[in-house]
Amino acid sequence: MCGHTYHRNKIVKAQNKVYWRCEDRDCGAYIHTTLSNVYLSNNETPHIHEPNMDDVFIQQFKAQVIKRVRSELVTPGVIHSEELAKANMSPSAMANLPIAQSMRKSML
């Protein structure tokens, strides 16, 4: 959200809620979503750091590759290559993108 990356902190199925905390452990910002990833609320604590847009682009790239792998009859390596060719991101983000083999577990 807004260039900041969150990590799942806990899931409470009985409340249909997922708790997310900022990736920066020193930052007190957090959000809540439903189990289906619909935004619910946040604690209105401002982040104590600048957003990292490279991380956001990398997460979007990975999500798109995984989505395509799960819905298309094309090999993961080909999908990864196609998405890489379409990617419009900074050289530093491109340098930090995962290779297809390292994404294998999350793609299937």
Tell me the per-residue pLDDT of 58-106, one tens digit each, with 9 for 90 and over.
Answer: 888 889 999 999 999 999 999 999 998 998 888 888 888 888 887 777 6
Predicted TM-score of the model (pTM): 0.64
Cα dihedral 17→11→33→76 (10° resolution): -140
pLDDT for the residue numbered 27: 93
pLDDT for the residue numbered 17: 95
Residues 65 and 101 in one domain: yes
94 in any annotated domain: yes
90 in any annotated domain: yes
Residues 94 and 63 in one domain: yes
Q: Is the pLDDT of residue 34 over 90?
A: yes
47 in any annotated domain: no
29 in any annotated domain: yes
1 in any annotated domain: no
Residues 86 and 57 in one domain: yes
8 A C-beta contact, residue 87 and residue 61: yes
CA angle 25, 30, 35 (to 5 degrees): 120
Domain count across the chain: 2
Residues 16 and 59 in one domain: no
8 A C-beta contact, residue 55 and residue 5: yes
Averaged pLDDT for residues 29-33: 94
